[in-house]
Amino acid sequence: MDKAITIALAGNPNAGKSTVFNNMTGARQHVGNYPGVTVERKEGGCTHNGFDVKVVDLPGTYSLTAYSIEEVIARKFLIEEQPDVVVDIIDASNLERNLYLTVQLIELGVPLVLAFNMSDVAAAQGHQFDLEKLSALLGVPIIPTTGHKNKGTAELLDAAIEVAQQTKGTNPEMVRYGQEIEQAIANVVDKLEKSNKLSYSRNRWIALKLLEGDDDVASRHLSAELRPVVEQQITEVEHKLDEALPTATASHRYGLISGVCTQCVRSTIERRHSISDAIDLVATNRFLGIPVFMGLMYLVFWLTFTVGAPLMDLLDGSFGWLAGVVDGWWAPGAESALRSLLVDGIIGGVGGVVIFLPNILLLFLAIAILEDSGYMARAAFIMDRLMHKIGLHGKSFIPMLIGFGCSVPAIMATRTLDNRRDRLVTMMVVPLMSCGARLPIYALIIPAFFPGAWHAPLLWIIYVIGIVLAILSAKLLRSTVLKGESVPFLMELPPYRMPTLKGIFIHMWGRGWLYLKKAGTIILGISILLWVMTSYPKKTEFQRDYDAEIAALQTSATTELQEEGLAEIENARMAETLSYTVAGRIGHALEPVIKPMGFDWRIGTAMIGAFAAKEVFVAQMGIVFSVGEADEDSDDLRDKLKDNYTPLIGFAIMMFSLISAPCMATIAITKRESNSWMWALFQLAGLTVLAWVVTTLIYQVGLLFGLGVV
Amino acid sequence: MLNRQCCRRDTVPAGAAYPLSFCKPGQEVTVHSVTGKCNARSRLETLGFVPGAKITVVSANHRGPFIVRIKDSQLAIGRGMSHKILVG
């Protein structure tokens, strides 16, 4: 007979909560070394000693005030869903600050166990702890754990289950706030007890929060009758203490903590994060910071391309071979819809997307290393000055950096921003950070039109253009529709850590797997749909009698003229066939709009497909250029692009893909996170218009300089 | 009862306080008070910027954000905020 209990994991950002969660549940949640990795609460489960344990990983918080969304989510869960036990993960190397949350959890009266994490790091820094004494002073059990080595997990579960079965809460009067504040608390509690049936400890907590001016608690518990009492108490106490009430309570909490720490912690050596400091001397240097950041980004793209290229060729070759094998099932030249669906639609479409897997894996490998090492937080710091100039602050830069991977988690990560205006602006511009799904488009186009030495620099330039446009758009939004003061910058810089191989591979493989899954589901479906649209209705009556023309050519002309003429005739036939299909008709209808950007109807149809998922662009180009061909020759898609378009058009395609309407998933997540269709549609329309304007400008100016001719 | 003895023992007299933004790298200072709006102040207090807390300035870029060390952690603080933290 299994009994069920719920454990909530609380703790400071970057204290190792996600690692402990993974250890407990066996899940593979991404672990990063910067604050705000867990933006949403995540759930997992395990069985331990005959108990069904549900584990809920709460967002990391420093406190339980109502000033940020994470804190509100965490607090709401603790109060409303009443988990059987709360495990507070403590970063031992940063004990005092971590205990601040602990003290607040104790005051909230929840059943509590402390996981004393990263004690190895703390020991290396020369800290020694008297855990028995600490446990006695705080009145809660403490279990030492080493998250990344999976030590102490079983003991932690044992302790959590034991606490969950007791009914004993913590001591709500752990912190005594001094005579004036205590008197005020007593007065408010008195009033609360007359109007509700909550426990003393909960009422004490509510009273304290009301006195601290907590809006969220006030909206729930501050009745019209209570309001004047609370206001009067606040005025009186603040007058007597000559400081703001929340400041006084924070002081008292930290006072208690430093008292506890003097008794339980011994620091033997005065040496802290010295390697970290040395790295920071360069990484956050006022002159070197930005060049180092730009250089690292360049390195990321260089890695993505040069190391990825041979692997990609290998995959490309295998798909070509597969297409050949499948093609061989039919007699040469035979007309078969199934053959075309398999070879052109599925292998051409999905295969065209899958071959970019090495690039995706390498990009995420690089991002994972930057994240896990702790560099990302420095990047935010370096960019703060610039971000400040455009009316945002450095913290907006983290969602934007995540946006290099995928806009969806990036938009979710805007939750770390406290101010709604900052959040909205960041959400609107995040899709301009070139996501991983756009990489296949660049990886297809760049080598098709440009010499090898240009590859990495071009890719880098595209990403930089995205960043610059994001900055300009943010500035524009901030000075028009989303005016207002921005919240000041305040962010923890975690010490640098050596990323673990396991962590990096979890991150990289998780992303790669998502990519493959997408290729096997959405992209497969859309490829089939696009193939149908590109193949039907079939044209049977042609304007010209191509077969007769070919026959005439073969008898009359010389070999050289024959070849030239044949190619022209085949192209004309293919164009006529395609124009007749659904995709061709849509593309042609769009032509007046996309012509100024240098696009023909084929690119137009691919761009429509790209709205479902950006990678589809590549798939659709593959389909367009293989459907309707007389025979399945081994001509590379890149060669076909090169034959049909100029480098200027290639660049225009990349620009449009970079800026234009993000994919459906992004629009959906923007709607959810902004809680408004208006903003989601604004994002969609705004980016599409911007893309059109910028691409048209580039193309037309390029033509003016004669770039489009060759 | 612990807190009664240890809180605010290092408080700086009001007259001697000046903004954190005046500090140079390597300087060790004590927090006097945090001014400014509720939200920002509360976040600073949460992170340990309470009267009497000791902070070390790690880096102070011209016009850029500050890096300070407080209670074993490094924090990056925006210019604007560094004007609002009074230290001594």
pLDDT at A105: 92
Write the residue in A254, A418, A492 that is nearest to B53 by C-beta.
Answer: A254
Do the Cβ atoms of A259 and B72 come within 8 Å? no
Q: Where are the alpha helices (DSSP H) in A5-118?
A: 17-25, 69-80, 95-108
CA A60 to mean position of chain CA atoms: 16
Look up the ipTM and state it: 0.81
| Count of all residues that appear for chain A in the document | 710
Cβ-based neighbour number of residue A232 at 10 Å = 12
Query: Does residue A379 belong to the interface with chain B, where contact is any CB pair within 8 Å?
Result: no
Q: Is the pLDDT of residue B74 over 90?
A: no
Query: Does residue A213 belong to the interface with chain B, where contact is any CB pair within 8 Å?
Result: yes
Q: Which of A230, A236, A237 is nearest to A195 (CA)?
A: A230
Residues 437-476 of A with CB under 8 A from B: none
Name all domains of chain A by residue range, CATH numbers in brackets. Answer: 3-165 (3.40.50.300), 178-267 (1.10.287.1770), 296-479 (no CATH), 509-544+573-704 (no CATH)
pLDDT at A557: 66
Query: Does residue A280 belong to the interface with chain B, where contact is any CB pair within 8 Å?
Result: yes
φ, ψ of residue A224 in degrees (nearest 5)? -60, -30
The distance of B68 to chain A (nearest Cα, Å) reads 10
Residues of A in contact with B6 (CB under 8 A): 255, 258-259, 262
Residues of A in contact with B56 (CB under 8 A): none
* CA–CA dist A495, A493 (Å, integer): 6
∠ CA A596-A583-A359, nearest 5°, is 75
DSSP state of B52: T
Residues of A in contact with B40 (CB under 8 A): 487-488, 490
pLDDT at A127: 82
* CA–CA dist B79, B77 (Å, integer): 7
The distance of B56 to chain A (nearest Cα, Å) reads 13
pLDDT at A140: 92
Residues of A in contact with B5 (CB under 8 A): 259
DSSP class per residue in A338-367: HHHIIIIIIIHHHHHHHTTHHHHHHHHHHH
Q: Which position has the token pair 């240009």?
A: A454
pLDDT at A342: 83
Residues 83-102 of A with CB under 8 A from B: 93-97, 100
DSSP class per residue in A629-674: -SS-----HHHHHHHHS-HHHHHHHHHHHHHS---HHHHHHHHHHH
Do the Cβ atoms of B39 and A277 come within 8 Å? no
pLDDT averages per 10-residue partition of chain A, 710 residues: 82 83 75 50 80 87 80 86 92 89 91 88 82 91 85 90 81 84 92 87 91 88 88 90 87 89 79 70 81 84 76 83 84 74 78 76 81 83 77 75 77 74 88 86 89 87 90 88 72 81 78 76 78 78 75 74 73 76 85 89 82 79 65 62 88 93 79 85 93 93 74
CA B3 to mean position of chain CA atoms: 20
* CA–CA dist A66, A229 (Å, integer): 22
Q: Which of A408, A611, A650, A411 is nearest to A523 (CA)?
A: A611
Q: Which of A291, A415, A304 is nearest to A361 (CA)?
A: A304
Query: Does residue A126 belong to the interface with chain B, where contact is any CB pair within 8 Å?
Result: no
Contact A13/A36 with Cβ under 8 angstroms?
Answer: yes
CATH classification at residue B42: 2.30.30.90
Count Cβ atoms within 10 A of the Cβ of residue A334 and give its class: 0-12 exposed, 13-18 middle, 19 or more buried.
exposed
pLDDT at A271: 53
- pLDDT tens column, B12-21: 555 678 888 8
* CA–CA dist A151, A158 (Å, integer): 13
φ, ψ of residue A42 in degrees (nearest 5)? -120, 145
**Count of structural domains, chain B:** 1
Do the Cβ atoms of B67 and A256 come within 8 Å? no
pLDDT at A135: 92
Query: Does residue A488 belong to the interface with chain B, where contact is any CB pair within 8 Å?
Result: yes
Contact A413/A402 with Cβ under 8 angstroms?
Answer: yes
Do the Cβ atoms of A493 and B76 come within 8 Å? yes
Helix%, strand%, coil% for chain B, nearest 5: 30, 35, 40
H or E stretch covering A625: helix A616-626
Q: Which of A60, A55, A22, A23 is nearest to A38 (CA)?
A: A60
Amino acid identity of A243? E
Cβ-based neighbour number of residue A30 at 10 Å = 17
φ, ψ of residue B73 in degrees (nearest 5)? -125, 155
Q: Enter the pTM of the model.
A: 0.72
* CA–CA dist A710, A597 (Å, integer): 17
Residues 17-36 of B with CB under 8 A from A: 33-34
pLDDT at A112: 93
pLDDT at A69: 73
pLDDT at B12: 52
- The radius of gyration of chain B from alpha carbons, rounded to an integer in Å, stands at 12
* CA–CA dist A21, A39 (Å, integer): 14
**Residue B53 is part of which domain span?**
3-87
Cβ-based neighbour number of residue A220 at 10 Å = 12
Do the Cβ atoms of B61 and A286 come within 8 Å? yes
pLDDT at A31: 53
Amino acid identity of A6? T
